């Protein structure tokens, strides 16, 4: 049980160390943003963040045409 726990902790520690090499070794290093809206490749394809798309969908359309209601006479 203890061997398994130590092995698991060692694997997790090694993974964290490997994932943070850029942050630890580079001066002013930081993790890249994982947001879709900040990825140049996604922006080139026209794919945006779902929150930005939702906000745009909720805004009133300035190009909308008012509809007239027709009264039906019997």
Does residue 50 fall inside a structural domain? no
Model confidence at 27, pLDDT cuts 50, 70, 90, reads confident
Examine the pLDDT at 72 and tell me if it is beyond 80. Answer: no
Higher pLDDT, 4 or 43: 4
| Tally of domains in the chain | 1
- Report d(CA 37, CA 44) in Å as an integer: 10
Distances (CA, A) of 50 to 8, 47, 57, 58, 62: 36, 9, 10, 12, 22
pLDDT category at 42 given cuts 50, 70, 90 is confident
Model's pTM, two decimal places? 0.42
- Take residue 41 and report the two structure tokens written for it: 């490749």
Q: Structural domain of residue 18, as residue ranges?
A: 1-26
Tell me if 15 is assigned to some domain. yes
pLDDT score recorded for residue 74:
64
Residue 67 lies inside a defined structural domain of this protein: no
């Amino acid at each position: 049980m203890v061997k398994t726990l130590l092995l698991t902790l060692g694997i997790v520690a090694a993974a964290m160390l490997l994932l943070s090499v850029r942050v630890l070794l580079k001066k002013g290093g930081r993790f890249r943003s994982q947001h879709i809206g900040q990825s140049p490749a996604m922006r080139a394809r026209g794919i945006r963040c779902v929150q930005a798309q939702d906000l745009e969908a909720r805004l009133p359309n300035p190009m909308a045409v008012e509809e007239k209601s027709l009264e039906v006479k019997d």
